Amino acid sequence: MNNIPGRMLSARSISKSFGDVHALDGVSIDIPSGQSVSVMGPSGSGKSTLLHCLAGILRPDAGDVSLGDEPISLSSDAARSRLRLQHMGFVFQDGQLLPELPALENVALPLLLLGRPRAEALGRAADWLSRLGLAGLEKRRPGQLSGGQEHRVAIARAMVADPAVVLADEPTGALDQATGAEVMRVLTAATRDGGASLVVVTHDAGVAQWCERHVEIVDGRVINDVAARWAA
Amino acid sequence: MRRVTRVAPMLLRGRISAGQGLIDLMTVAAFTVSSWLLFTVLAGLNVFVQRQAAPPAMFLAAVGGGPVDGASELPIWTLIAACASVLLVVPVLTLGAAAARMGALGRDRRLSTLRLLGVSGGQVVALSVLETVLAALAGAVVGLVGYLVTLPAWAAITFQATPLSAAEMLLPGWALASIVGLVVVLAAISAVSGLMRLRISPLGVARRAPRPAVRVWRFLALPLAVVAWLLVAPMLNLARAFAVGATVVLVSLAVFMGVINLVGPWLLQFMGHLLARSGRPSVLLAGRRLLADPKGAWRSVSGLAFIGFTGGALVTIPDLGEGAADPLIRILADDLRTGTYLTLAIAFVVAAASTLLNQASAVLDRRRELQQLGNLGVPLGLHDRTRLVQVVAPASVAALGSGLLAVFFFGLLPKVGASQLGVIVFLGALVAGIALVWAAGEACRPLVRAAVAGTGPRPD
């Protein structure tokens, strides 16, 4: 419902510094609707800063970020938060679920925050959990789920409000290789089926290969931007 | 164990030099408050015991013209002081236990790293207990200094027509040492109990074990206590066999305190079930947090339960004194008023400290989670609204429920009535207590802002 076809996430010449450290130096990137993009680079290259700027969590020192017609980087903090809640989904490496809430309510939370009725929010959450193979685990709390199951719950939460874009920061960093691959399979399938763009920040080439496009960042600059061989 | 004691000072130094010792500082501060109050409350009780053995001359002179021998009535004061002590000692010790648990839980990430390095589970527990014991000892010593420094200030308060003197309020050395020992031992027990929640595997993964639900038998303790008191209370006749009657009252009061502590977490859990049905995220979250840890939620409001209980007791104390011909009655009425206000003041301090401690430790504990929610776009106001529901709803239930229980308990005692002034003070204490607890919760607002912004102090 929030997924407006053709809505593109764009960054134009964005720069961001932390003291003397120039994390981003004039980065421009367009992410068309429905495309999956991996952002790779060594530690400290600025890939997480780019993700945070794209999400509106950080405001760039220079340049603009927009989602469709919405100028993210010019908005107030409250407006950017609202934009994230309505149009973006997030999957983090860890600490992503509320430990007190059962899986079902964790997934329903974004909808409840958007003011949807409880029954509708829980119904949609149950539907997403079922689509991701978690039917029967709705009442379990995060501590009672495996690492892979927790990530799938997080993916369901990221998708439940039909976001325009899903942003994932090292989504498999805390998982073993097999579970990480399964999480990426679920994540890319879910965003593809939901028509959402996907931006994955990772240092793992195995994770990046699940995406249609690869962007490489070094010292805050994009040095490579290519389509995956299988997608080209 | 030797290896553990060798690394403990190094870890402590590291935390302090890295500016990450906030949890330790708060833990020591909480132990300081609870120890200082424990010294003070027990010293106050000791004053009345001493005066019963050697009645003060000013008191005897003041009641000399009355119809009864004043000295023979002094046990009434001792009984009332003992009741107030029972009311206060439980929440004061609970505050200490909460401090110990906070200290232990705040260290889970560091402890899990030590497990990864090859430190055994037993050594990890020993290390945490050692750190908590050191914090308790430091707090108890600072509390002792605070108690000693404030001794002269008690001269401003008069009981039995005689100002309290510093010499009277000074407990003997063995008692001071015993209280320090008690604080340290209880801290160690609470730290071990807090660590039971952490399953620290050899892979260094610290996972919070889900807490089992609070059982319904806790609630059954309430009707049992009520029925028992309905049977026992009418048999009391304090005038005839004062010592026996007083002992029964004190023991029963302690039992009721215990019952409140048993039933409280179950009631909050029940309330959590109701709140968790809400479609409003703040109410849902508050309900789920109550359900996730009803005992912890109770610890943060139990101080208020005792404010409610003290206030409820006031309702049953008839308005005496004003215009009474007997000087003994006038003095007793004055002392009841002074004692009640003093008890309420101490209970307010305990309630505010408990709430502040629990809310601040909850924020530090959830720092990463709060930051992630901010990233998701969750508005800051949600945290404020959730905290409001999470603090005020249990506080109201605790204070009002305990107050009503106190009315029932003291209402069945012989020679009691009803007091209009008591009702006003009771309601005033409830409102003030809930406002204070709310304010203590709100004091954590900057900490939440800092956590969401990612600049808050780390809990490890």
Is residue B281 within 8 A of residue B389, CB to CB? The reply is no
Residues in a beta bridge with B415 = none
SS3 B206: strand
- The DSSP code for B204 is -
pLDDT band at B105 (very low <50, low <70, confident <90, very high): low
| Chain A residue at shortest CA distance from B369 | A95
Cα(B281)–Cα(B297) distance, rounded to whole angstroms? 19
pLDDT band at B203 (very low <50, low <70, confident <90, very high): very low
| Mean per-residue pLDDT over chain B, rounded | 80
- CA B401, B92, B313: angle at the middle one, nearest 5? 40
- B296 and chain A in contact, CB less than 8 A: no
pLDDT for the residue B18:
54
| Helices (H), ranges, B54-152 | 57-63, 74-105, 108-117, 121-149
Which of A73-77, A137-141, B314-318 holds the top average pLDDT? A137-141
Residue B455 above 90 pLDDT? no
Region B255-276 average pLDDT: 92
- B237 and chain A in contact, CB less than 8 A: no
Region B380-391 average pLDDT: 89
Is residue A205 within 8 A of residue A173, CB to CB? The reply is no
Q: What is the pLDDT of residues B29-50, one digit of tens each?
A: 889 998 999 999 999 999 999 9
Question: pTM for the complete prediction?
Answer: 0.74
| Chain B residue at shortest CA distance from A120 | B279
Q: Which residues of B touch A88 (CB under 8 A)?
A: 377
Q: Which residues of A touch B371 (CB under 8 A)?
A: 95
Region A36-46 average pLDDT: 91
Q: Which residues of B touch A171 (CB under 8 A)?
A: none
Cα(B49)–Cα(B51) distance, rounded to whole angstroms? 6
CA dihedral for B323, B324, B330, B332, sign (positive or negative): negative
pLDDT band at B460 (very low <50, low <70, confident <90, very high): very low
Q: How far from B66 is each of B77, B162, B324, B389, CA to CA, in Å?
A: 17, 17, 11, 53
Q: What is the pLDDT of residues A190-203, one digit of tens each?
A: 999 888 999 999 98
Which of A45-59, B159-173, B291-305 holds the top average pLDDT? B159-173
pLDDT band at A37 (very low <50, low <70, confident <90, very high): very high
Nearest to A100 among B279, B289, B376 (CB): B289
Which of A63-72, B37-46, B85-94, B353-362 holds the top average pLDDT? B37-46
Cβ pair B375:A117 closer than 8 A: no
- B5 and chain A in contact, CB less than 8 A: no
pLDDT band at A153 (very low <50, low <70, confident <90, very high): very high
pLDDT for the residue A105:
92
Q: Which residues of A touch B453 (CB under 8 A)?
A: none
Pick from B202-206, B272-276, B343-347, B449-453: least confident: B202-206
Region A37-62 average pLDDT: 90
Residue B175 above 90 pLDDT? yes
- Any idea where the domains of chain B sit in the sequence? 1-210, 212-460
Domains contained in chain A, number? 1
Nearest to A99 among B208, B277, B374 (CB): B208
- B284 and chain A in contact, CB less than 8 A: yes
- B376 and chain A in contact, CB less than 8 A: yes
pLDDT band at B280 (very low <50, low <70, confident <90, very high): very high
pLDDT for the residue B204:
40
Residue A179 above 90 pLDDT? no
Region B419-445 average pLDDT: 83
- B124 and chain A in contact, CB less than 8 A: no
Region B267-287 average pLDDT: 94
Nearest residue to B453 via CA among A220, A81, A202: A81
Residue A73 above 50 pLDDT? yes
DSSP structure string for chain A = ----TT--EEEEEEEEEETTEEEEEEEEEEE-TT-EEEEE--TTSSHHHHHHHHHTSS--SEEEEEETTEEGGGS-HHHHHHHHHHHEEEE-SSS-S-TTS-HHHHHHHHHHHTT--HHHHHHHHHHHHHHTT-TT-TT--GGGS-HHHHHHHHHHHHHTT--SEEEEESTTTTS-HHHHHHHHHHHHHHHHHHT-EEEEEES-HHHHTTSSEEEEEETTEEEEEEE-TTT-
Q: What is the pLDDT of residues B192-201, one digit of tens each?
A: 876 665 544 4
Cα(A210)–Cα(A214) distance, rounded to whole angstroms? 10
Name every residue whose Cβ is closer than 8 Å to that of residue A208 and which is 6 or more positions away in sequence.
A38, A40, A200, A202, A214
Which of A33-47, A73-87, B120-134, B306-320 holds the top average pLDDT? A33-47
pLDDT for the residue B131:
81
SS3 B101: helix
Is residue A32 within 8 A of residue A10, CB to CB? The reply is no
Residue A3 above 50 pLDDT? no
Quickly tell me which residue has 């709430």 as its tokens.
B355
Is residue B35 within 8 A of residue B181, CB to CB? The reply is no
Q: At what angle do helices B22-53 and B74-105 cross, to 10 degrees?
A: 170
Cα(B319)–Cα(B315) distance, rounded to whole angstroms? 9
Of residues A25 and B19, more confidence is placed in A25
Of residues B183 and A4, more confidence is placed in B183
Residue A2 lies in a domain: no
DSSP structure string for B37-71 = HHHHHHHHHHHHHHHHHS--HHHHHHHTTSSS-GG
* CATH at residue A96: 3.40.50.300
Among A67, A113, A165, the strongest candidate for a mutation testing the B interface, having the largest count of B CBs within 10 A, is: A113
Cα(B95)–Cα(B238) distance, rounded to whole angstroms? 33
Q: What is the pLDDT of residues B323-357, one digit of tens each?
A: 667 788 888 888 888 888 888 888 888 888 888 88
Cβ burial, residue B67 (10 Å; 0-12/13-18/19+): exposed
Percent of chain B with pLDDT over 90: 22
Is residue B251 within 8 A of residue B243, CB to CB? The reply is no
- Domain residues for the domain of A111 are 9-227
Quickly tell me which residue has 């134009």 as its tokens.
A12
Q: Which residues of B touch A57 (CB under 8 A)?
A: 374-375
Residue A134 above 50 pLDDT? yes
How close, in Å, is residue B160 to chain A by CA atoms? 52
Strands A165-169 and A62-67 turn out to be unpaired
Quickly tell me which residue has 């004039």 as its tokens.
A26
Nearest residue to B257 via CA among B189, B300, B303, B295: B303
Percent of chain A with pLDDT over 70: 95
Residue B453 above 70 pLDDT? yes
Cα(B386)–Cα(B437) distance, rounded to whole angstroms? 14
Phi first, then psi: give them for residue A123, nearest 5 degrees. Answer: -65, -45
pLDDT band at A84 (very low <50, low <70, confident <90, very high): confident
Residue A232 lies in a domain: no
Residues in a beta bridge with A225 = A215
Q: How far from B254 is each of A50, A72, B82, CA to CA, in Å?
A: 61, 61, 10
SS3 B322: coil
